[in-house]
Structure 1
């Protein structure tokens, strides 16, 4: 149970997403609706929907918005979204995975390809970078959830595979199939998590210098702004020193 996952780097800056509440809520609503359509509209009986609802709650999405997204799935609307994953290379040799929910593959593929090409990268074929990542469950708790020892004990008891604690919070990793159960067990001890979701964790990370970091973050911003893009993952690591310089 050791090692820092550097989640603040591999899942693009949460703080930046928080500033775009409307765009973020739209993405969360789409995931909730798709999850509810794929199974029962009851979160207790639908693990994917429960994860989507928990993520929405963690982002302070109003309960009415969450319920509307669930109701939309049962109303028989004509919107049909499919999950499409794109893989490519960003500045500095970074590997990037883009997860989307789209009702128009051509539109989404064009937008993602353009984003890569305009910001020092190129879109690859399916499977070109995913081999460098592991599909895992991820649970994030704020530092206020408890001491490192308390969270470590709770995570081990719940069956988590890895945990990293810092002043930023507690990052807990699980096997993908165990995520729902581990999250439920942790909630009984630590309360509601800040983030519960399936994640792509890189096996190795690539350090970004100032120039590459600046271009990479612009690419991430463009991808984040796309309504079809749900989550962006990468194997890059930007040090606090470099991040401070490119944020000026």
Structure 2
């Protein structure tokens, strides 16, 4: 278990969703409702629901909104959503995975395909890139949770597999089947996390130069802005100097 992983799993987080809080809250609400509908409506007894609620709290989603999303599932009037995964390639040969919750597979597939084609990418077949990723649990903490050594020791004690610490925060990686046990142990040691979720961690990363980075980030934005897309993962790294030039 290393304090810093050689290849960081970078999930591009620009300010687009922060500027569109209603769209972000809609996605969070959808995940909460689906999680509550698929299991018990109690976050303490439903790991997926608890993770969704934690994610909503981390984004300052009002408690009333969270409860309404749960009540929607309990009342039986929630829409029926299907979980769909899309895989493809972006500029520079970057591998991208987009996970969606949709009530209209044709609409979502068309939107995702368009996002890829308009931004230098190509939508591939299922399994075309996921073989280059590991399915893992991801627990995120802000930098204020502690320094790298403190978080590393807590993660080691909790049974995590790896830790990546940077100025903006800490990513703690676990085996899928141990995600929620590790999360509970870490919560006791470090407090409530910013996020607990299943994630796609790349086995290797591709450094993207200035020529491709701008188009790649537009592709990521286009995917994240789609109402049906819940998360986007990629095996890219954009150097800080390139990010500064792009603004």
Mapped pair 1:170 → 2:166: no
**C-alpha separation in 1, matches of 2:70 and 2:164:** 34
Mapped pair 1:6 → 2:8: yes
Q: Which runs of 5+ in 1 are unaligned?
A: none
Query: What SS does structure 2 have at the residue aligned with 1:77?
Result: coil
Residue matched to 2:28: 28
Residue matched to 2:46: 46
Query: What SS does structure 1 have at the residue aligned with 2:44?
Result: coil
Give the drift of 1:14: 5.2
Question: With structure 1 as the length reference, what TM-score do the two structures score?
Answer: 0.95
Residue matched to 1:124: 124
**C-alpha separation in 2, matches of 1:225 and 1:164:** 27
1:131-150: CA deviations, max 9, x gaps? 00001111111121112222
Q: Does 10-19 or 202-211 show the bigger shift?
A: 10-19
Give the drift of 1:222: 1.0
Give the drift of 1:234: 0.5
Residue matched to 2:37: 37
**C-alpha separation in 2, matches of 1:19 and 1:194:** 19
User: What are the equivalent positions in structure 2 for 1:202-241 lying under 5 Å apart?
Assistant: 202-241=202-241
1:7-29: CA deviations, max 9, x gaps? 4xx21215443232111110000
Q: Aligned Cα RMSD in Å?
A: 1.2
Q: Which runs of 5+ in 2 are unaligned?
A: none
Give the drift of 1:78: 5.2
Question: With structure 2 as the length reference, what TM-score do the two structures score?
Answer: 0.96
2:17–2:225 contact (8 Å) kept in structure 1: no
**C-alpha separation in 2, matches of 1:172 and 1:14:** 21
> When the two structures are aligned, how many residues end up with a matched partner?
245
What stretches of structure 1 move > 4 A for 4+ residues in a row? Answer: none
Query: What SS does structure 1 have at the residue aligned with 2:179?
Result: helix
